[in-house]
Amino acid sequence: MHQQLELLIMLHDLEEMIRESLEAAISEESLGFKLSHQEDLKKAYAEVEKRLQPELLVRYRKLKERYERAIVPVVNGVCCGCYMRMPIALATSKDKNVEVTTCENCGRFLYWTE
């Protein structure tokens, strides 16, 4: 897996964790978990941001402004952002996740789960 793609995934997953830890409606506290150090998550997020190539970070933020998610999984050959089917050449390539790729239709970063 491409190292910058790893960072994009981390950035996304940390964002999800920060968002969920802040949303009272789905608070884990009601399930019996203790939640406290959200600051740690934010620190980890800032560190990932620093390690990401600046142009990728700019693109990530622009995508975030436009869509809710900037990086989406490809499931069964379909982009989970815009639901367009991936071109056959890309879908059958053996080197998925070796490079940072984007959806030709919506521009979101892609992560191949199969």
91 is an interface residue for another protein by CB under 8 A: no
> Burial level of 81, CB count in 10 A (0-12/13-18/19+)?
buried
Instruction: Please count the other Cβ atoms lying within 10 Å of the Cβ belonging to residue 60.
Output: 20
Stretch that binds another protein, among 20-28, 57-65, 86-94, 99-107 (CB under 8 A): 20-28
Closest CA to 56 of 4, 3, 12: 4
37 is an interface residue for another protein by CB under 8 A: yes
34 is an interface residue for another protein by CB under 8 A: yes
Do 79 and 71 touch, CB atoms closer than 8 A?
A: no
53 is an interface residue for another protein by CB under 8 A: no
Stretch that binds another protein, among 3-11, 50-58, 59-67, 84-92 (CB under 8 A): 3-11
- Rounded to whole angstroms, how far apart are CA atoms 61 and 56? 9
Q: Could you list the residues that contact another protein (CB under 8 A)?
A: 1, 6, 9-10, 12-14, 16-17, 20-21, 26, 28, 31-38, 40-41, 44, 69, 71-73, 75, 80, 111, 113-114
